[in-house]
A = this chain, B = another copy of it.
Amino acid sequence: MHNLLSNLKITINDKLYVKNPETSELGLNILKNSILLIDEIGFDAFTFKKLGERIQSNESSIYRYFENKHKLLVYLTSWYWSWMEYRMAFATINVSNPIEKLEKAIKLVTENIIDDNTTPHINEEVLSRIIVEEFTKTLMTKEVDNENKEGFFLVYKRVINRIIDIIKEVNPNYPYAKSLASSIVEGSLHQHFLKNHLKTITNLSEKECATDFYTDMAKKILL
């Protein structure tokens, strides 16, 4: 398994970067520290200047890798969903029972994430916090439609499509497979956000994850 995970193939739309950050020390440093800095100060306050200072490099050097901070965020979120897609493929490949497959998929997208150590420049635990706090910002722009056409959100949609397929296997007659799948993925992020900030309108407590809520929901709806 460790072997398989280290061959992990993360696919990212090459329109998201000017120069592939995986190909140099500086690039890897940008990835690593942008995750940490966005987590610390939030994406709105994050600037290339601050990142440059942090990694003892220069603002303009970062611009050689990413056109702007929005594309860097879309890059990081694509990385996350690509990693998630891989985990999901891996976890469901040898499972023939559709219900069991659905349970595994729901668990993966709803559980609390911990760093998996296979990628030293990406801390998945911190990255997953960024996904909870900032992911919708990648979609909620006036450029969504153009960026969607360019394929910026393909990986995200692929994760959801995988769940749609499993839902259809479990119950081919359920008429809202797409909405249910996107609800689970986005809704889970939202429940995690609520448990961190608006605790009174979620049942999730401090260290809990959304797995039970969504597993119960899916079973009651589909079975």
Contact = CB atoms under 8 A, between A and B. Distances in A.
Main secondary structure of the interface of A (DSSP, over half): helix
Contact of A183 (B145, B157, B187, B197): B187
Contacts of A137: 137, 140
Interface stretch (A3-11, A90-98, A198-206): A198-206
Nearest to A160: B201
Q: How many copies does the complex hold?
A: 2
Interface of A: 41-42, 44-45, 133-134, 136-137, 139-142, 144-145, 148, 153, 157, 160-161, 164, 175-183, 186-187, 190-191, 193-194, 197-198, 200-204, 210, 212-213, 216-217, 220-221
9 contacts: A45-B142, A134-B140, A136-B136, A137-B137, A139-B198, A176-B213, A181-B201, A183-B191, A217-B217
